[in-house]
Structure 1
Amino acid sequence: MSPLRKRYRLASRRARREAGVPGVRGAHKRRGVLLAQVLVLVLFATLTARMWYMQVPQAGHYHELALASHTQKLIVPAVRGKILDSQGRPLVRNRTELTVTADFHTLLNQPDDGAAVLRRVAEVLDVPFARLRDRVRLCGPDTGRPCWPGSPYQPIPLAEDIDPRVALQIMERKTEFPGISAQQMAVRDYPNGDMAAQMLGYLQPITQEEFEAREELRAQFSGVDQVGRDGLEYVYDDRLRGTAGTRTLAVTSQGGVNGVVEETPPKPGMHLVTSIDQKVQRITEDALKAGVERARSEGRPTDSGAAVVLDVRTGNVIAMASLPTYDPSVWQGGIDQATYDQLLSEDAGEPLISRALQGQFPPGSTFKVSSLSAAVRNGADLDGTYSCPGSVHLGNRSWQNFEGGGHGSVSLHKAIVVSCNTVFYQFGYDTWLQDGGTSPKDDPKEIMADTARGFGFGQPTGIDLPHESSGRIPDRQWKQQYWEDTREQSCRRAEKGYPEVAEEDPGHAAYLKRAAHEHCLDGNRWRAGDAINFAIGQGDVLVTPLQLARAYAAIANGGTLYEPRVARGFLSADGTRVEELEPVKAGTLPIDDRTLEYLQRALTQVPKEGTARGAFDGFPQDKVSIAGKTGTATMTGSEDSAWFASYAPADDPQFAVVAMLPEAGTGGVAAAPVVREIYEGIYGISGAEPGAGGDAKPKVGEPAMPGAAPPEELPRVRSDGTVAPPPDTGD
């Protein structure tokens, strides 16, 4: 740089300083200060906005978070609704029992974790200390059972249904029993003992797996609540259970409770009104028990049975009985393994099973209402005459009439009244031939099977009870599938035989081996014998007593098949809500009006002059006319099983009644008397007394139901919470 330029720059700087003009370095400093000030202002504004957001819009959220470490929320179960009969009488209700409970945190704060206290309680209650110690253990992933699956802030039950005098010993010595209390707790009560046990169901605690797997349960269950496990308790659990409440407790860091922060009361469950009539249910069960006892006194091996009473106009279940049965109170307080195993054992008759809707049996001649309808659909003449010999040769073998008797030429009416098997054998054989026999057509009509399905057989009825069986209506397709599923086992048996059977019955073992050999070779063929047996409700045909009752109810009401229902409606605990369930139509019988009327007339004569005449001798059929059909089912290796399916009054049907007793003998001797006793109870016919000339005159009393008919309205809840009968029946 030249000396002249250097002097010029120095003079310029001096002039700017004198004029107050900043230099480049000063300008940079000022700009930095300004940026710092702006940054501070922005950060302050952001902090202010964040504080406002947290303290105003999010105040509630952070308030809850703050409380979370100092509160515990508990689920408060609602009072479970009752199960009532059609008159409002309780079938299942609630009662309170005195329960000794423990406070988990109070025990935990003891020097020995409450062991000494529990030992003193065990001594007073006369129970093992180990049992009480297990009850207060909290359940966890690695905790074995038993343990406490509920909240540690809930009272833990140590012993239920305690004598007040025992509880008083604890309450009067509170200093010796810190954390121990006695309080009333609600439990399910069965005022009628074992009546309708399988239908009503039972309660069991919700499992830890269910509680953890289903989010919706955690909002309604505390982890120790009970849920329906069978019957009506299971199907209508959500309505009976009600809506749980919540209680938020203020707790200390040591787990002590300081008080209630917030509480939402629970809403009681709805009362379930059933179509069951308590008196008719008792009558039905007593008649069934008497029938089993009579059969056993005659040397029959029967030890079980089922009976069903339906309202033919709606499909509602009036009564449903199954033997053997059990007392549902065994589930209260937890069931021990020995009792549970007994309920499932064959030796005890598997009393948990309802034979009315789960038992599957060959229906015998009660099935002929379907076979006759199928024959008419296939072209048989309702007005024709048919040969009823003692035996008939079909499909390379002879088929016998029941007890070998013949009736000559008969109408279809008489074929039903006297239950002529040989007429129906011929129907089954003819339809088999028309479909191609063992070389079936591409699209066989299968008229017998198709008609049976139209009567509701071979499929669940849709009743509002769990675990219903479907029965079985076999046909060519079923036979093929069954053969594929069982061929390997049959071939193995055909080779090895049945040595376990041969030890007691060599003849039966030889028969089973021949049958296994035949099935192994070509068991998929629908043979003449299959079709012949089908026509009289034998062979592979299986139905449930409920299915048969529904079919006869449809015959009685003009052809409508209903879905059977046990529930009639719901009542709120305070009576402000009433919900009535309407009957559900499931279909119509696949027969025309003329065939239906023909069947009705024939069935009316069975108790008067047919196979049920002896059972109904002396019954006042001029007052209450019975229509029905006997059935005697035979199975290889078992004695005859008895059926009677019916409805009444025949001229204005109201009830369908079916009884079934396995291995009890013939339908007319073993099952029909059971049904008679049920009708006698329903209509108030208490028996017969000798009259002039030795005639038996029935004694007529009060019918089990007012007017011998189900009530048209539901019961009602009074202002005090008690339940009154329906208005049309009076208090």
Structure 2
Amino acid sequence: MSNIPETGRTQRVQIRLIVIQVLVFSLLLTLGGRLWYLQIRNGEEYTTKAAGNGVQQVVQPAVRGSILDARGVPLADNETRLVVSASRTELLKMKDDGVGVLTRLAEVLDMKPDDVRDKVRLCDSKTPQPCWNGSPYQPIPVTDEATTQQALQIRERAEDFPGITAEPTAVRRYAAPGKAKTAQVLGYLSPVTDEEIQKALDGPSPYLRSDQVGRSGLERTYDKELRGKAGVTRYEVDNLGRVMGEAENDPAVPGSNLITSLDARVQAVAEYELAQAMKTVRQETDKITGRKYEADSGAVVVMESRTGRIVSMASQPDYDPNDWVGGISGKQYAKLTSKKSNYPLLNRGIQGQAPAGSVFKIVSASAAVRAGYPFDGRYDCSSSYSLGSQTFANFESKGHGPITLGDALKYSCNTVFYRLGHQEWSRDGGIKPRKDAKNWFYTTARDFGLGSETGIDLPNEVKGRIPDRDWKQNFWNANKDAWCKEGKKGGTYVQQIAYENCLEGNQLKAYDSINYSIGQGDVLVTPIQMATAYAAISNGGTLHAPTIGKAVVSPDGRTVQEIKPKAQGKLPIDAKTVKDLDKGLRAVVEPGGTAAWRFGGWPQDKIPMRAKTGTAQVYGKQTTSWFATYTDDYTIVMTISQGGTGSGASGPAVRKIYDALYGLDEQGNQDLKRALLPKPQTKLPKIQPDGSIHAPKIKPYDPQPVQPEGEQADPEFLVPQPAGQPGLTGSPATTGRRP
């Protein structure tokens, strides 16, 4: 038996129990404290980290739908390119974070190592482009222009390029069939931004970081239909980024195809002839300034007269939308947005604004009829019109005596409209307008659709400007302080104008209405607005919202959603006045008319042609050429900034576009085999179940030789006027009252 007393044994047991209790309590206290630290104090931080341990997604971009012309010719589609991509997660597992691999890759791709490393870094608020804006688990494209040899090197030397892939991938392509770029109409793509992602979160079509979205043109208007739905594969990953397994897979859905009313062949002709007209006029001397014409920009619109559908829209200067594919360089972007290049991203068909000149006279003639002046009445076409000490000269200072409004269109007689505009200004109360003033010349312009958007299915259309009394007041309110600061009585021309505007710039003066009556002064219109107005006269009075999209077709061709032409109103004149205008415009291309010299040999009995020439003057610049024309089928409007007269600069190009449409030679003989589009296209092209399209091939445009003109003079030739007596031919200058 043990010699230890029972009391001592009991004490030792008690001590052991106390020690065990203390240890257990300490462990529980430590565990509780740790739990408090993890869940309470740093709970939010670890919750965020834990969330990252769950599911990550990899996106397979959807194949974007094609944009086709009216016969199915691809204007924008996709081509297979060899795309070299890098897996950032694989690179970061390496000791040097993949620097060695990327350096070897740069050598194979003939790129700078820094450029390659920049491509695979992640974007944030402090990281400039180029960088990757998508998921870090997504393969990051390094280049989409790899050659077959480069791809083979990467794949054959896989041990030297871990985490690098070279795979064929669908990439956007702007095909330019027949050399028709169609740049500003098609638009371009660029990566989605964080701001756009946030805005679209609650919408029906949220963005993914890998999405490319339309930034302008049809690519933007129909982005939702073209983009499709990207495929998403979700992976279970741990907090170290290691893939534990696949959780879910949603396959990609390709985008729908957009069929347009454009004709690639006509587009090629329009682009070529517009550019050629500008090149030609740059070789000619402006007889007013003594300098060569600058012809710095221009646009042409070809529209179906009965529907408002756009067959062609060209704008100069232009650009190659393929420059945006795969990401545009800083140098290219600076060029496209610089003043030196004259902003080629602008679509001058819908964004180019200028005074209308004499093509505006259809509005003034209509306003006169609404005001009670008979169309066939007699109005004095004198050589000039005087307002106090100011003289407004007529075309070449010629007079034609008493003529009708139809003849005023034929001869482009300014003084007829000067008088009418001045008389209506007086009837409305002059400087102090009557409460019941009709303002026919201004309301009629707005009723023709001027001063507002036409509603064409392209983004960023501008409204132009109709300078009525309300506009004058608002403009004065916005500029009064600057005018008063700059103005000086008896100072320079600009200072004197600012001084006068400071005092009374909110008043609609007599000279404002006189200039306005022939589309000058503060009037601004766009080519698409004038095309819409002239097409309405052609079709009997219906104003259409111009459209380019014709149908949205599913990838398999089974679902077709047609986009119908949309009438949005009627001209504010009766059927008789529409016919009277049509007759007057027909006389413009017949003997004695200002456009007759451009339509020699035209088969007027088979294809009746109507036209209006215009030459608008802008302060500090050379004159702007306008030429508005239509047949029963088509309306064509062309303008060239700083290009001279309407028929002189734009006339030959417009005639050649018509010749190509109808298959006419220089003598007016028609060969339907050569005709590109003698009647508007009505049938939609067929898209096969496999997505293929049997599109006709496009031959390059072969322009006819320029018809010799001999010593024939331009009937719109601008004749310099004596000092203090500004005047133009088809459209006079502003009267020296405002820049």
Does the alignment reach a TM-score above 0.5? yes
Match of 2:589 among 602, 607, 623: 607
Q: Check whether the contact 2:488–2:496 (CA below 8 A) recurs between aligned residues.
A: no
Question: Counterpart of 1:567?
Answer: 549
Rounded to whole Å, the distance in 2 between the matches of 1:128 and 1:76 is 28
Q: Check whether the contact 1:325–1:351 (CA below 8 A) recurs between aligned residues.
A: yes
For residues 500-551 of structure 1, the C-alpha deviation after alignment (integer angstroms, 9 at most, x for no partner) is xxxxxxxxx9322221121112111111100011110111111101000000
SS in 2 for 1:357: helix
Question: Counterpart of 2:647?
Answer: 668
Higher mean displacement: 620-629 or 368-377: 620-629
- Structure 1 pair 584–623 and aligned structure 2 pair: CA distance change class (3 A): same
Higher mean displacement: 440-449 or 143-152: 143-152
- Structure 1 pair 236–496 and aligned structure 2 pair: CA distance change class (3 A): farther
SS in 1 for 2:598: coil
Residue 67 of structure 1 deviates from its aligned partner by 11
Structure 1 residue 199 corresponds to structure 2 residue 215: no
* Structure 1 vs Structure 2 CA RMSD: 2.2
Structure 1 residue 331 corresponds to structure 2 residue 313: no
Question: Counterpart of 2:465?
Answer: 472
Rounded to whole Å, the distance in 2 between the matches of 1:405 and 1:527 is 26
Rounded to whole Å, the distance in 1 between the matches of 2:93 and 2:146 is 26
Q: Check whether the contact 1:194–1:325 (CA below 8 A) recurs between aligned residues.
A: no
Rounded to whole Å, the distance in 2 between the matches of 1:73 and 1:638 is 57
Q: Check whether the contact 1:549–1:656 (CA below 8 A) recurs between aligned residues.
A: yes
Q: Check whether the contact 2:558–2:689 (CA below 8 A) recurs between aligned residues.
A: no
Q: In the alignment, residue 700 of structure 1 is paired with which amino acid? A: D
- Structure 1 pair 553–145 and aligned structure 2 pair: CA distance change class (3 A): closer
Gaps (5+ residues) in structure 1? 1-65, 498-508, 689-695, 727-731
Question: Counterpart of 1:489?
Answer: 482
SS in 1 for 2:90: helix
Rounded to whole Å, the distance in 1 between the matches of 2:386 and 2:489 is 33
Residue 252 of structure 1 deviates from its aligned partner by 5.3
Residue 109 of structure 1 deviates from its aligned partner by 1.3
Match of 2:268 among 282, 304, 317: 282
Structure 1 residue 721 corresponds to structure 2 residue 691: yes
Match of 2:148 among 136, 146, 164: 164
Alignment of 1:245-264 (within 5 A): 245-251=231-237, 254-257=240-243, 260-264=246-250
Structure 1 residue 579 corresponds to structure 2 residue 561: yes
Q: Check whether the contact 1:374–1:447 (CA below 8 A) recurs between aligned residues.
A: yes
Residue 426 of structure 1 deviates from its aligned partner by 0.5
For residues 471-495 of structure 1, the C-alpha deviation after alignment (integer angstroms, 9 at most, x for no partner) is 1111111111111111121222224
- Percent identity over the alignment? 46
SS in 2 for 1:297: coil
Q: In the alignment, residue 669 of structure 1 is paired with which amino acid? A: G
Gaps (5+ residues) in structure 2? 1-49, 285-291, 697-739
Q: In the alignment, residue 297 of structure 1 is paired with which amino acid? A: Q
Q: In the alignment, residue 292 of structure 1 is paired with which amino acid? A: M
Question: Counterpart of 1:378?
Answer: 371
- Structure 1 pair 142–594 and aligned structure 2 pair: CA distance change class (3 A): closer
SS in 1 for 2:380: strand
Rounded to whole Å, the distance in 2 between the matches of 1:616 and 1:248 is 66
Q: In the alignment, residue 371 of structure 2 is paired with which amino acid? A: N
Residue 724 of structure 1 deviates from its aligned partner by 3.8
SS in 2 for 1:157: strand
SS in 1 for 2:444: helix
SS in 2 for 1:603: helix
Question: Counterpart of 1:556?
Answer: 538
Alignment of 1:7-26 (within 5 A): none
Residue 719 of structure 1 deviates from its aligned partner by 3.5
- Structure 1 pair 311–216 and aligned structure 2 pair: CA distance change class (3 A): same
SS in 2 for 1:716: coil
Rounded to whole Å, the distance in 1 between the matches of 2:638 and 2:383 is 28
Match of 1:183 among 144, 161, 167: 167
Match of 1:129 among 113, 125, 129: 113
SS in 1 for 2:137: coil
For residues 85-138 of structure 1, the C-alpha deviation after alignment (integer angstroms, 9 at most, x for no partner) is 000100000012111111122211111111111121122222222222222223
Residue 419 of structure 1 deviates from its aligned partner by 0.8
Residue 250 of structure 1 deviates from its aligned partner by 4.2
Residue 69 of structure 1 deviates from its aligned partner by 4.1
SS in 1 for 2:523: coil
Match of 2:663 among 684, 687, 692: 684
For residues 8-46 of structure 1, the C-alpha deviation after alignment (integer angstroms, 9 at most, x for no partner) is xxxxxxxxxxxxxxxxxxxxxxxxxxxxxxxxxxxxxxx
Question: Counterpart of 1:642?
Answer: 625
Rounded to whole Å, the distance in 2 between the matches of 1:90 and 1:100 is 26
Residue 699 of structure 1 deviates from its aligned partner by 6.2
- Structure 1 pair 162–218 and aligned structure 2 pair: CA distance change class (3 A): farther
- Structure 1 pair 164–259 and aligned structure 2 pair: CA distance change class (3 A): farther
Alignment of 1:261-272 (within 5 A): 261-272=247-258
Q: In the alignment, residue 266 of structure 1 is paired with which amino acid? A: A
SS in 1 for 2:466: coil
Question: Counterpart of 2:704?
Answer: none
Structure 1 residue 294 corresponds to structure 2 residue 280: yes
Question: Counterpart of 1:340?
Answer: 333
Rounded to whole Å, the distance in 1 between the matches of 2:560 and 2:512 is 52
- Structure 1 pair 110–450 and aligned structure 2 pair: CA distance change class (3 A): same
- Structure 1 pair 104–636 and aligned structure 2 pair: CA distance change class (3 A): closer
SS in 2 for 1:608: coil
Rounded to whole Å, the distance in 1 between the matches of 2:573 and 2:458 is 29
- Structure 1 pair 145–350 and aligned structure 2 pair: CA distance change class (3 A): closer
Residue 396 of structure 1 deviates from its aligned partner by 4.8
Match of 2:83 among 93, 96, 99: 99
Q: In the alignment, residue 136 of structure 2 is paired with which amino acid? A: P
Q: Check whether the contact 2:59–2:210 (CA below 8 A) recurs between aligned residues.
A: no
Structure 1 residue 700 corresponds to structure 2 residue 671: yes
Rounded to whole Å, the distance in 2 between the matches of 1:479 and 1:563 is 28
- Structure 1 pair 83–408 and aligned structure 2 pair: CA distance change class (3 A): same
Bigger radius of gyration: 1
Structure 1 residue 631 corresponds to structure 2 residue 614: yes
Q: In the alignment, residue 304 of structure 2 is paired with which amino acid? A: D
- Structure 1 pair 265–704 and aligned structure 2 pair: CA distance change class (3 A): farther
Match of 2:71 among 72, 87, 95: 87
Rounded to whole Å, the distance in 2 between the matches of 1:71 and 1:456 is 55
Residue 397 of structure 1 deviates from its aligned partner by 2.5
SS in 1 for 2:482: helix
SS in 1 for 2:590: helix
SS in 2 for 1:644: strand
Q: Check whether the contact 1:657–1:675 (CA below 8 A) recurs between aligned residues.
A: yes
Residue 621 of structure 1 deviates from its aligned partner by 2.4
For residues 188-235 of structure 1, the C-alpha deviation after alignment (integer angstroms, 9 at most, x for no partner) is 101106621011000000112322454247975431221000011011
Rounded to whole Å, the distance in 2 between the matches of 1:146 and 1:717 is 38
Higher mean displacement: 549-558 or 636-645: 636-645
Structure 1 residue 618 corresponds to structure 2 residue 620: no
SS in 2 for 1:132: helix
